[in-house]
Structure 1
Amino acid sequence: MRHDKAAMVIDLARRMAASAEGLTIDEMARDMRVGRRTAERMRDAVLMLFPQVEEVSDPPSKRWRIRGGLSAFEQAPTATEMLELAKAASALRAAGEPARAAALEALERKLKAAMRSTTLNRMAPDLEALVRAETIAVQAGPRPSADEGLLTAIRGAVLAQQPLGFTYSRPGAEPRRRTVAPCGVMFGRANYLVAADRETGRIQTFRLDRMTHVAPQDGVAVPPADFDLGVFASQSFGIYQDEIEDVVLRIAPEGAAEAKSWRWHPTQSFEDQADGAVIVRFRASGMRELAWHLFTWGEQAMILAPERLKAVMAGELAAAGRALDAARG
């Protein structure tokens, strides 16, 4: 237990060093998942170990931070942390994201270069063994990649709060020049720019692989003040955004345990049924992507609501049937 407490104190010190504005007692308790009194004792332990801790007045609270960072000894990553970093880079490269993978690989090299040789030598055998023992199964399907230059242009416009101009091409339509207020990027099965229309403020999504001649424009373009990318992304089952609806699914008894172990949506809830089935409820948009996912459940999943999801599923089934008939000649 003593070692666990020591590790928690070091972890808190790292968090204080990583925060430019510092942490309040309540933030320490939240981040460390402890009570306020325990957080106060941990803060006192950090003050004893690290004299460089600064107390910052932030009425009605106080904050504590460590300026100048911590030493290499106190910041040495573990083999597990380095493993997860290597796996994340490998997963991005396998998913067709070489630019994002290269950024993580560069970070891995910088971390290793900053480590003491004795620490690195001690970690190397464990890290090599773990890398051989774990991998990530890449899901089959299309994986449009994000060009490094395109991401650089988008990020530059976001940071400078400038309009972003680009040519957008949709299948069956003439390419169209667009200028928007960029809000951010969502990465998934396809990667999307999330942006606001400069006149109406309406939030729209644009597939990155359909964007060309991308560059920041002169002027100022600020996203709506109440826009939150995380909230926007969580409203949809996947990427596509449309009307938000109450989804109700019935999963048969043989699939109930698996269904309850899945993260369907941030708003999900489960209701056990007398026959062993489970009712899954959540509020989301993106009915087409949800229909695609429900195909993987076969006969175990029954759509109870909404009617639009039933119609979308019927349409997808009909389209698949027509494609199969055409293949048969």
Structure 2
Amino acid sequence: MRHDKAMMVIELARRMAASAEGLTLDEMARESRVGRRTAERLRDAVLMLFPAVEEVSDPPTKRWRIRGGLSAFEQAPTTTELVELTKAAQGLRATGEAGRAVALEGLERKLKSAMRSTTLNRLAPDLEALVRAETIAVQAGPRPSADESVLATIRGAVLAQQPLGFTYARPGAEPRRRSVAPCGVMFGRANYLVAADRESGRIQTFRLDRMSAVEAQDGVAPPPADFDLAVFASQSFGIYQDEIEEVVLRVAPIGADEARAWRWHPTQTIEDQPDGGVIVRFRASGMRELAWHLFTWGEQVTILGPQRLKATMAGELAAAQRALEAAP
């Protein structure tokens, strides 16, 4: 068997060991990016090499899993995987996310302690060299805050489907005590709790650094049955949620190549134009954050729609101009 096929068999075994319920043939094919017949051959190879594989009946399908996990030899991480884990922890620390960095650093120590000393000694020189040779550029923006105790309380309430109580302080407003049904957390330039108002059911976002006296409350408060955090996050250009608009932008030829490689939004389409430019279309809310982003494109981008985005951009430009004129 060629080396790449051997790697596919080992990777499939890892996936089967990492799944509590097991994998169907269709899931094996999808995760291995192969056809069903190839997935069957890979499964048969795993069955032959790993006697601990068990078949689980899940009508109308079958599932296969490896209970008890794999050995340290079969699970030894690569240099690249360890480097990416180290960089992820360093990136969180650089942006002020010490609590989340500690979790990744703990995982890194556990992985290394489970590795054979000979394997670790072999990887150590390359790992040290790559860590020194790569760094993360910290961009300007708000410093996200994810206090470890606050996150633990939120996660506990999410898992137990309990109401979450906290005091929320908006700039220029009196602090207000809130009680919500927690749906999840969005991490980014700022970190937000996503929750449903217990009376209206409306989904709202709350910045974690503006929350205090956070506690799980008695009772049951599940998220709305049809709520999907990934779908909710993808509706906005950034974090702020408002009315969804049809956004149409024209990018000049000079910026077309960059625009084609840019991830504007999950719903984006890009149309080539005769003059070498492109038209970018997507559906999103968050016009202010989009306007802020479009500042970075300068004259390369023209807003074709919606009108609300044009008005928002005009307002932001006017505010910037006033600030510039007021400067000594």
TM tier, smaller: over 0.9
Judge conservation of contact 2:25–2:40 (CA < 8 Å) in 1: yes
Judge conservation of contact 2:162–2:222 (CA < 8 Å) in 1: yes
Q: SS of the residue aligned with 2:327?
A: helix
Distance 2:159 2:286 in 1: 29
Counterpart for residue 286 of structure 1: 286
Amino acid at match of 1:319: A
Distance 1:132 1:254 in 2: 36
Distance 2:300 2:16 in 1: 48
Amino acid at match of 1:266: P
Amino acid at match of 1:151: L
Once the 2 structures are TM-superposed, how far is the Cα of residue 32 of structure 1 from its aligned partner? 0.4
Distance 2:189 2:90 in 1: 16
Once the 2 structures are TM-superposed, how far is the Cα of residue 144 of structure 1 from its aligned partner? 2.9
Distance 1:322 1:187 in 2: 33
Counterpart for residue 313 of structure 1: 313
More moved, 151-160 vs 21-30? 151-160
Structure 1, gaps ≥5 residues long: none
Once the 2 structures are TM-superposed, how far is the Cα of residue 149 of structure 1 from its aligned partner? 1.0
Give the alignment's TM-score, normalised by structure 2.
0.99
Distance 1:322 1:148 in 2: 40
**Are 1:81 and 2:51 an aligned pair?**
no
Once the 2 structures are TM-superposed, how far is the Cα of residue 133 of structure 1 from its aligned partner? 1.8
% of aligned pairs identical?
Answer: 84
Distance 1:13 1:171 in 2: 52
Amino acid at match of 2:220: V
Distance 1:144 1:86 in 2: 20
The structure 1 segments of at least 4 consecutive aligned residues displaced by more than 2 Å after TM superposition are: none
> Can you list the C-alpha shifts for 1:108-146, whole angstroms capped at 9, x where unaligned?
000000000000000011111211221111111221311
**Are 1:211 and 2:194 an aligned pair?**
no
Once the 2 structures are TM-superposed, how far is the Cα of residue 319 of structure 1 from its aligned partner? 0.7
Once the 2 structures are TM-superposed, how far is the Cα of residue 172 of structure 1 from its aligned partner? 1.1
Distance 2:22 2:230 in 1: 24
Amino acid at match of 1:290: L
Structure 2, gaps ≥5 residues long: none
Aligned runs of 1:1-329 on 2, under 5 Å?
2-328=2-328
> Can you list the C-alpha shifts for 1:216-267, whole angstroms capped at 9, x where unaligned?
0011100000000000001111101011111100111010000110111111
Distance 1:145 1:165 in 2: 18
Q: SS of the residue aligned with 1:214?
A: strand
Distance 1:281 1:134 in 2: 35
Q: Please, what is the CA RMSD of the aligned residues?
A: 0.8
Amino acid at match of 2:241: Q
Distance 2:130 2:11 in 1: 23
Give the alignment's TM-score, normalised by structure 1.
0.99
Amino acid at match of 2:297: W
Distance 1:133 1:253 in 2: 35
